Each structure stands twice: as C-alpha cells, then as structure tokens.
Chain A
Amino acid sequence: MSVAIVQFPGSNCDYDALYAFDSVLGVPARFVWHKETSLGEAEAVVLPGGFSYGDYLRCGAIARFSPIMAAVKEYAANGGLVFGICNGFQILCEAGLLPGALVRNAGLQFRCQTQTIHVEESTEQFNRSKLGARLRVPIAHGEGNYRIDEAGLDDLATHSQILFRYCDATGNVNAVGNPNGSISNIAGIRNRAGNVFGMMPHPERVVEAFHPSVDGIAILRAFLASRLVVEQPGLSQPIALAE
C-alpha cells in the first residue's frame, strides 16, 4: 500500500509531494501517470499542484477528462482518501468531487508568499486541538479565488466542511489576510463524507527545518489519518486507514 500521486501533463509539484510523503513522513509514495486507468493498491491519492494542460480553458478543466480521473472518482466514491493541492484542488472542483470553483485572484496577479491560515473545526483530524489555531503555509497561484453560491456556502458551514480560512499574521480572518478574494476567506474544504480534501496552500512545501515552517507535516498527517465523518450511501467497502 502506498500514496498514489497522480502526474498530469503540467504537474510541477509532483516531486515535492512525493518527497514530503516518502522521505519526510516515511509513507511509501509513487507516481501514477494520468493515462493510466487504475490507481493500483493505494491507501490515499494525491492530486499535486502545477498547471495541468497549461491551465487552458480553465484550471483543471481538461485534466478532469484524463483517463485516470475515472479511477479517482471511483476510488473517492468507495470512500478512499483523496487530497488535491492547488491545481489538484482546482481539478477536484472541476471534476465535481468538491463543491465550488476557483477563479482568478481578486488582485489579478499571481501571488506567492507564506500565508497564515486559520484552522476550522471540521473533523476528528482537522481541528484546532490537533493542528493548532494557526498555520503558516505557502501559497503560489493566480487562480485561487474560491467561489460558491450562497446555498453552497451555507451547506459547507452547516456540515463543517471548511478546513482552513486565510487570516492575517495574528489569526484574524479579515480582508487584509485574504490574498486572493476567496469567499469567506476559504483556503481549503472537504466533501461532506470527509474523504475528499482540497486546499490552495501548499503543505508539501513546509515540511523541513529550513522551510518557512514545518506546518505541512501536521496537515499531511491529518489527511492520512482521516476517516469518514458520515456514512456514504452506496459505499461498497470500508476506507483504508493509515495509523
């Protein structure tokens, strides 16, 4: 069993993700080429950052048609753990595995900086007592402005699906701390069932002592230790758990 990291044409954080899981967390990880139709034996699936298909049409819009995505959807439907980071998050939204969409940053410019994010109370793994109240994680995107309609936003709140919100350095969730105009400062979410996760910041870039922080380690561990929060109708097998 290992973490399957999907490589799309244009993925460019694939090696960073591999290194973070494999060398830092000590969890075996391997690449799966987007033209494959099977994920193989995987305890979790990661869609890494990058510019899949050059972001043509819309970020993630073409990648969702890659052959491997059918397997990713099936894997998620069976309760498997899926994590989309940056472009991976955009692909999950385009593929309908997560609600909402990511559009151009409010300031129109690409933004790369170490960003403080506020941890929300979401699951047994993603909450303030496990992760702390604030984390420092880099962002690097031109289209990270999270959008969802009002009903969808209510839904996210009602079901505690918001994982992280952008905040200022002291933890205030406000306009100053919002780097891209995301609605309600949303930086990361999960699906209702609690097995599909997406975030724009890059946890795989903050896992070593010389990085701006090591907060990525806790996030990646929280992902691997996640279990379903609601029973999913039609779930054919229990999800794999990494202890």
Chain B
Amino acid sequence: MPAALPPNPDPVLNVPITPELVRKHNLLPEEYERIKNLLGRDPALTELGVFSVMWSEHCSYKNSRKLLRGFPTSKADPNAAGQVLVKAGEENAGVIDIGDGWAVSFKIESHNHPSAVEPFEGAATGVGGIIRDIFTMGARPVLLTNSLRFGDLSSPAAKRLFRGVVSGIGHYGNCIGIPNVGGDIYFDPCYEGNPLVNALCLGVLRHDQIKRGTARGPGNPVYYVGAATGRDGLGGASFASRELSKESAADRPAVQKGDPFMEKLLLEACLEMMAVPGLVVGIQDMGAAGLTCSTCETASRGDSGIHIELDKVPQRETGMNSYEILLSESQERMLVIAQKGREAELEAIFQKWDLHAAKIGEVTEGHDMLVTHHGVPVVRIPAKALADEAPLYDREAREPAYLAGTRAWTPEAAKLPDLDLAGARDALPQLLAHPTIAEKRWVWRQYDHMVQAGVALLPGGDAAVVRLRLGGRERLLAIANDCNNRFCYLNPKRGGEIAIVECLRNLACTGAHPLGMTNNLNFGNPYKPENFYMMREAVAGLAEACRAFDIPVVGGNVSLYNESPSGAIDPTPTVSIAGMVDRIEHVTTPTLKTGEEAFILLGGWPHELGGSYYLGVRHKLKTGDAPALDFEAEKKLHNFVRQQIRAGRVAAAHDVSEGGLLVAVSEMLFSAHKTFGADLDLRPAAEAAKAAGRPFRLDALLFGESQGRIILAIKPEYSRALLRSAETAGVPAIALGEGQGEAILKVVAPGRGGEGTLTITWPVGKLRETWTDAIPKAMDNT
C-alpha cells in the first residue's frame, strides 16, 4: 500500500477526511471509496479538493458523458467538404477544415451560475474563458456570439441580470477587440433566478497551426503564463455543479474577476509564441479547476507524468496554501509545455508583452501528477485517474407527469376560441412587443460588432456573417444560435431536433451551407429522474438531427443543476452551427430592398399552435405538442433556398419562427433604410385546410409556429420561374402577395372556420415602434 503523503506545510490542511468533508466537496460516499481505491490510501485534503473539482459535472461530465456518445463527431461522408480535423472531447475545442489549408475552431460554453450571482463579472469571464479555449488551439479568434436566457422582463431581478450580463459580455469583447456579431435571447419565467449565459467564440487557423493540450517529453519545462493566482473563483467548477440556493450569494468568492486587457496580451503573446515552429509542445488554458485541470489533463493526454512546484506559481495574495493555489480559478492564465532548451525564446516573447512566464515544473517519466509546496509533496495522483477515470453514471429517467396532458392538448378539445378581426389586429403588436421577439438593438449596440471590419451582416439577421481574409482569399463565415425552450419543455426530443433544424434554416436564409455544430446542454439537477429524462431525450433529438443532415458535433459544454428555489429551468440545449457563404453577393438579409418585391411562402401554410408565443401571450398557455418536423422536407427547403439565392432571385429571406407568419412578414418590412408595407392574400389557406382534412384556424395560420417555413421576397418578374423551380424541387410554394412602398400591412384572410373573409390592416410604422421600443422601454433607457 503506497505510503501516505507527509504533512502539508500548512497545518490547517492536515485534517482527517470525514464523511462531512466528503459531502462538502460534493462527492458521494461511493465516489470517495473509488478515490481511495485509485490511490491505494486515504487522500490528503488538497487531493480531495483536486478530485472534487476534476470529478465535478463541469469537468468530468459524469452524468452526461454516456449520452454525449450519441453525437456524431465526424462527417458520415468522408468525401464531403468540411471534414473534422480535431474531434469533440479530444482537445479544448474541435477543428473543422474549410479548404485551402485553413480551418475553424469554435465552441460554446456556459457561465450560468456565476452570472446568476454576479451578472457582470460572471458573463465577462464566461466570454474570457471561451476565447482562451479557442486561441489555445492555435486559432485567432474572429467572432463571438452568445445565447442568453432570462426570466420575464417585467421582473426587477430579470432586468438587473439582463443589464449586468449584456454589459459584462460587451465589456470583455469590446476591450479585447473581437466582434460580438450575434446570438439569441429568450425571456421566459422558467429562467427567473437562473439565467443562462452561453458564450461562443470562433477562431481561424491553418491546419499546420493546430496545437494540442499535451505534456510530452520528460524534462520539457512546464510554464505558467499570464495573470497571477489569487483566491478568486475558488472551486468554481464545483460551484457550477450545484443548485443555486439562497446561500449562493455567499458563493461570491467562487465568481472570478475578469481582465480583458490581460487576456488581450495573453492572446497576442500566445499566438506569437505558437507561430514559432517547434517551440510549443502543448498548451492549455486554466479555466474551470484552474491549475489542477490543466496539469492533469495535459499529462493524461501525453501519457506522461508531470511535476509542478507551487512556490514558483506567480501569486497576488500572500499565504496561499496548496489547496487554494490548485483550486483557484483566477482568470487569464495558461499552462505551456515548451521544448527543452528553448526557454529563452519563450521568455523573450512574454517579456515583450510584459507578462509573467514562470517555469513551474517539468514533464516527468511515469504517470503521476506530483505537486510540491515548500519542497513537500502535497498531491501525488495518477494523472489519468483524475482526468479520465471519473465515475460515469446512467441516471434514472422518468417522463414528467405533465407531458401526457400537454401532448394531448388540442385547441379543439380545449375549446379555445379562434381569433376574430379585433383579436387578430391586437395580437400582432402584442407579439412584436414580447421581449423574445422584439428588436434586440438595445443589446447589440452595446457590443462592438464592427471591430476587425469584417461584419457582412449586422446583428439582428437570421444568422451573422463575417468576411475573413485568409491567405489572400476572401471567405464568408456564417453562424446561427438557437433553442426554443418551449418546444423542449413540451417535447424534449423534437425540441432538440427543432433547435438544430432552425439553425440550419437560419443559415440557409442568409445563403450559407452548414459546417458543424457546438452545443451547450443546460438542464436541471440530473439526480431528479424527470430532469434526466428531459436531458436524455433532448440529446437524442440533437444527435438524430445532426445525423440526418450530416452535421458533425465539434464540442460543447454541459451545465446541469440549473435550478433556483422555484424549480428547474426548461430543458435548453442551445445549439450553434457555423457555416460558409460562397460569395458576398449571396449574403442575404431578412428585409425588403425596394418594397416592390413579391412574397413567396415556402413549406406550406402554418397550422399548429402547440408551444407558440401566441398561446403564451394571448392565452397564458404553455401547452400542446411541439410542431411537427420533417427532415426530408427541410433538406429540400434549405437546398432550394440556397439554390434560389445563388441564382440571384432572392431579395430577402426570413424563416417563420417565434410569433409565426405575420411576425416574420412584419420583420421583413422593418428595413434599416425604410419602413415598407405589404398586401397579402391568405384566403387559399382555408381550402388547403379542407383538402388536408383539418379544421381551419385563423390564429394558427397567422401566429402558429409550424416548422419548415421560409418566406422569400423576390422581384415580381421572377415569381413564375421560382414557383416552377419549387415545384420541380418538391418544395410547396405559395404566392402571398406584394410589398408596398407605403407602410401599411394589409392581410385578407379566411374568416372563422374558413367561412367568409376578413381584411385586417396595420400601420407598419406603429408596429415597428412597438417592436423597437419594447426592450428599451422595459429597461428605462431609450
């Protein structure tokens, strides 16, 4: 039996490990037994701390990893463009080929719990962390996006969090000079007290620049670069792996403080260092679980041992003990394994940038992670035990009881009255004023979205598009984020599928074809069977949709325990898909250009109400089944839209999503240069309903959120040709009417039950005001 470690130089750490201490470290009794078996002895307190962070959900994915194995991590078609060069889970972030020897690396990561407690710093450091994940790969970051979720905006707490998070994201991105180009934001009471802050970064690199987080070659020096270590963020990874409670405010020391200026220097210095051939053996950022995680993971990947001396770690507080130094999550730090004999080259680069570069240890023979403090061993653990041997669980799953009821709900059975003329007239501005649907300019005007001078499609479109110059050639990169929590709450599997397919639809609307997906799984406590069921189903939905469209998953993040005293959040697997547009002329926006365009609805008339914002806003209902989804029809639709864009026929394209058909049409009229009008005839919808053997509902036509619908605005002279092409392509296409220079929206629709007709008109200027002012008004700041 291996001998116990000698006493720790700090006497407070020399305490017997009691069941109470184990519990406080969020470890189960059986996990503690596993630790003892792996070590062959009792762990010291510092070692217990090290295991607790490495085996937290945040680092080990112990409750989700088995589910994640269902994701495709490479392309099924080995000859298709966009092959995966570094797979999900292998490194800090995945890498996908984009041709000509270039590649992109991107990933999304959550900072939900820190943001709930300290919104500005929590969100800012979330951005900082994901940027480090990307430049660690050797990539230069070129864009940021984010997926944010808050409670109802009428609540003062939600406003405070919204204001703080947006400001924190802006601060970090603006300072470091990476444009925040897009994202998605939803407001729903389920996020009250537990906001979601998922930040994405994408970088570009040449294939030969890909770096690995590997420690290899005994004798190679291990460097610590960047900011000094303090007591902030102590145990942040395990903090993120618990439910939020009233006491969470007392966790404030577990929230890190960000310094984007330091990170900018670190970014430039690291990229400069990585550009020197052969200088860097491995590199990893110190994110969650800080020094502990980077040390044991690099050793484990390199199949090596590693020895670090804590006395050499730059510290900004005095008297820190081994537990504190190892578990600190101070920001803007990296671990670099350099080639022995080239230390001076590395140090010169960091000196130029006025940064610490401290040699804190070296790669060793064997497989142990050895940490010494004042010359005394304080941690000796097989690196693989920490990094790869965390327990993996299959949790119990049980369908939540409410699902049987919501799934069976229909408007007919519920005797939900359909809209009349006045109701329809009122519903549109009500929906446009919902903060989820309303304009988000209040948010993105606080983000520098134009730095790097590459944004080709401003925030607010269906997807963001950024122009890059790579090796003298122009490339257009698109990115879309999505996840409608209501659909996931009502049908987790289909909700997951819809998240993927809506992202793909958004990309198609901007003229892009997809490359790969990253996701952030935000769920409740997995030890509650209903929560685990929702996660299992949603992940299955994501995986199935990815396989159907041959979209590889290049990485992501799992955030569990998203619960506040009022309960778990809706399942929210946020998805982001990157894509490419072939030519700048193909970049397509959602708004009309002249007002003379014809509107063509692709995919058929909307007719489902389940999970719609309309039900929420008008009837205070969150019920029904998620709308139907047809992968084959979607593929035809997306291909058709891209083909029509390439043919130069499309002036504007927009998908039908939250708020339904009329919200989508309205948004198409709100051009940056002018407010347009439209004259639409929806009467054939009644006939179509009859032919399909279903009752006609006006509310479902105008505001239902049926999937697979895209509206094109085209020059009227292309109408016949486009309708013919659609027929050939097998895509249902309906001419809806024409745009108008005068800002009036006029809709002729079937009356109730499909009998008679209704004519509804709205002044579009008023609609736009409602849409534009909703968020600034709520935030008392126009």
- Is A112 a contact partner of B452 (Cβ separation < 8 A)? no
Q: B680: CB under 8 A from chain A?
A: no
Q: A107: CB under 8 A from chain B?
A: yes
- Is A12 a contact partner of B261 (Cβ separation < 8 A)? no
Q: A130: CB under 8 A from chain B?
A: no
User: Which residues of A in the span 46-61 have a Cβ within 8 Å of any Cβ on B?
Assistant: 49-51, 53-56
- Is B261 a contact partner of A51 (Cβ separation < 8 A)? yes
Tell me which of B441-449, B557-565, B572-580 binds A: B441-449
User: Which residues of A in the span 3-22 have a Cβ within 8 Å of any Cβ on B?
Assistant: 9-10, 12-13, 15-16, 19-20
Which residues of B have CB within 8 Å of A56? Answer: 261
- Is A110 a contact partner of B264 (Cβ separation < 8 A)? no
Which residues of B have CB within 8 Å of A10? Answer: 175, 261, 264-265
CA distance A205 to B451 in the complex (A): 8
Find A54's partner among B260, B444, B446, B584 (CB 8 Å cutoff).
B260
Q: B259: CB under 8 A from chain A?
A: yes
Q: B318: CB under 8 A from chain A?
A: no
Residue ID in chain A nearest B260 by CB atoms: A54
- Known contacts A12-B264, A54-B175, A113-B445: A140-B450 contact under CB 8 Å: yes
Query: What's the least CB distance linking A96 to chain B, in Å?
Result: 24
CA distance A182 to B271 in the complex (A): 38
Residue ID in chain A nearest B180 by CB atoms: A112
Query: What's the least CB distance linking A108 to chain B, in Å?
Result: 9
CA distance A142 to B265 in the complex (A): 21
- Known contacts A51-B261, A54-B261, A111-B445: A142-B174 contact under CB 8 Å: yes
Q: A174: CB under 8 A from chain B?
A: no
Which residues of A have CB within 8 Å of B177? Answer: 12-13, 50-51
Which residues of A have CB within 8 Å of B259? Answer: 54
Which residues of B have CB within 8 Å of A204? Answer: 453
Find A55's partner among B175, B446, B449 (CB 8 Å cutoff).
B175
Find A53's partner among B261, B448, B451, B469 (CB 8 Å cutoff).
B261
- Is A202 a contact partner of B175 (Cβ separation < 8 A)? no
Which residues of B have CB within 8 Å of A110? Answer: 170-171, 174, 446-448
CA distance A16 to B448 in the complex (A): 14
Q: A37: CB under 8 A from chain B?
A: no
- Known contacts A51-B175, A142-B174: A112-B260 contact under CB 8 Å: no
How many residues on B have C-beta within 8 angstroms of the other chain's C-beta atoms?
A: 32
Find A202's partner among B167, B450, B587 (CB 8 Å cutoff).
B450
- Known contacts A15-B452, A110-B174, A210-B584: A9-B445 contact under CB 8 Å: no
Which residues of B have CB within 8 Å of A19? Answer: 453, 469
Which residues of A have CB within 8 Å of B587? Answer: 210
Q: A232: CB under 8 A from chain B?
A: no
Task: Give 1 or 0 for each of A138-163: 1 = CB within 8 Å of chain B CB.
Answer: 10101000000000000000000000
CA distance A211 to B453 in the complex (A): 8
Query: What's the least CB distance linking B171 to chain A, in Å?
Result: 8
Find A109's partner among B446, B451, B453 (CB 8 Å cutoff).
B446
Which residues of B have CB within 8 Å of A210? Answer: 456, 467, 584, 587
- Is A112 a contact partner of B467 (Cβ separation < 8 A)? no
Q: B176: CB under 8 A from chain A?
A: yes
Find A12's partner among B354, B451, B469 (CB 8 Å cutoff).
B451
CA distance A202 to B453 in the complex (A): 10
Query: What's the least CB distance linking B194 to chain A, in Å?
Result: 25
CA distance A15 to B450 in the complex (A): 13
Which residues of A have CB within 8 Å of B264? Answer: 9-10, 12, 51, 54
User: Which residues of B in the span 416-466 have a Cβ within 8 Å of any Cβ on A?
Assistant: 444-453, 456
- Known contacts A12-B264, A51-B261, A210-B467: A112-B446 contact under CB 8 Å: yes
Which residues of A have CB within 8 Å of B453? Answer: 16, 19-20, 204-205, 207-208, 211
Q: B781: CB under 8 A from chain A?
A: yes
CA distance A215 to B524 in the complex (A): 51
- Is A205 a contact partner of B450 (Cβ separation < 8 A)? yes
CA distance A137 to B352 in the complex (A): 34
- Is A51 a contact partner of B451 (Cβ separation < 8 A)? no
Query: What's the least CB distance linking B624 to chain A, in Å?
Result: 39
Which residues of B have CB within 8 Å of A50? Answer: 177
CA distance A50 to B176 in the complex (A): 8
Task: Give 1 or 0 for each of B341-383: 1 = CB within 8 Å of chain A CB.
Answer: 0000000000011100000000000000000000000000000
CA distance A53 to B467 in the complex (A): 28
Query: What's the least CB distance linking A27 to chain B, in Å?
Result: 17
Query: What's the least CB distance linking B162 to chain A, in Å?
Result: 13
Query: What's the least CB distance linking B32 to chain A, in Å?
Result: 44
Find A140's partner among B176, B262, B451, B584 (CB 8 Å cutoff).
B451
Find B451's partner among A16, A33, A55, A111 (CB 8 Å cutoff).
A16
- Known contacts A110-B446, A113-B445, A210-B456: A13-B451 contact under CB 8 Å: yes
Residue ID in chain A nearest B262 by CB atoms: A54
Residue ID in chain A nearest B166 by CB atoms: A109
Query: What's the least CB distance linking B510 to chain A, in Å?
Result: 14
- Is A9 a contact partner of B354 (Cβ separation < 8 A)? yes
Q: Residue among A13, A54, A112, A211 with the most chain B CB within 10 A?
A: A112
Query: What's the least CB distance linking B266 to chain A, in Å?
Result: 11
Query: What's the least CB distance linking B140 to chain A, in Å?
Result: 10
Which residues of A have CB within 8 Å of B449? Answer: 112
Query: What's the least CB distance linking B325 to chain A, in Å?
Result: 25
Q: Residue among B167, B262, B450, B584 with the most chain A CB within 10 A?
A: B450
Which residues of A have CB within 8 Å of B353? Answer: 9
CA distance A112 to B173 in the complex (A): 12
- Is B781 a contact partner of A107 (Cβ separation < 8 A)? yes
CA distance A19 to B454 in the complex (A): 12
Which residues of A have CB within 8 Å of B584? Answer: 210
CA distance A49 to B94 in the complex (A): 32
CA distance A56 to B450 in the complex (A): 23
CA distance A202 to B450 in the complex (A): 10
Query: What's the least CB distance linking A204 to chain B, in Å?
Result: 7
CA distance A210 to B265 in the complex (A): 30
Which residues of A have CB within 8 Å of B447? Answer: 110, 112
Query: What's the least CB distance linking A89 to chain B, in Å?
Result: 16
CA distance A49 to B781 in the complex (A): 27
User: Which residues of A in the span 182-219 have a Cβ within 8 Å of any Cβ on B?
Assistant: 202, 204-205, 207-208, 210-211
Query: What's the least CB distance linking A19 to chain B, in Å?
Result: 7
Query: What's the least CB distance linking B670 to chain A, in Å?
Result: 16
CA distance A72 to B31 in the complex (A): 63
Residue ID in chain B nearest A17 by CB atoms: B453
Which residues of B have CB within 8 Å of A205? Answer: 450-451, 453
- Is A51 a contact partner of B260 (Cβ separation < 8 A)? yes
Residue ID in chain B nearest A139 by CB atoms: B450
CA distance A126 to B450 in the complex (A): 25
- Is A140 a contact partner of B174 (Cβ separation < 8 A)? yes
CA distance A207 to B450 in the complex (A): 13
Task: Give 1 or 0 for each of A100-117: 1 = CB within 8 Å of chain B CB.
Answer: 000000010111110000
CA distance A35 to B351 in the complex (A): 12
Query: What's the least CB distance linking A5 to chain B, in Å?
Result: 14
Residue ID in chain B nearest A112 by CB atoms: B448
Residue ID in chain A nearest B449 by CB atoms: A112
Query: What's the least CB distance linking B440 to chain A, in Å?
Result: 13
- Known contacts A55-B175, A110-B170: A16-B445 contact under CB 8 Å: no
Task: Give 1 or 0 for each of A17-40: 1 = CB within 8 Å of chain B CB.
Answer: 001100000000000010100000
- Is A112 a contact partner of B261 (Cβ separation < 8 A)? no
- Is B445 a contact partner of A12 (Cβ separation < 8 A)? no
Query: What's the least CB distance linking A63 to chain B, in Å?
Result: 12
Smallest CB-CB A-B distances: 7 pairs = A12-B177, A54-B261, A140-B448, A51-B175, A16-B453, A205-B453, A112-B448
13 new A-B contacts, CB < 8 A, other than A12-B175, A110-B170, A205-B451, are A9-B261, A12-B177, A51-B177, A51-B261, A54-B259, A110-B447, A111-B445, A112-B444, A112-B447, A112-B448, A140-B450, A210-B456, A211-B453
List residues of B whose CB falls within 8 A of some A CB: 167, 170-171, 174-177, 259-262, 264-265, 352-354, 444-453, 456, 467, 469, 584, 587, 781
Task: Write 9 A-B pairs (CB below 8 A) sorted by A numbering.
Answer: A10-B265, A12-B264, A13-B451, A109-B445, A110-B174, A110-B446, A140-B174, A140-B448, A205-B451
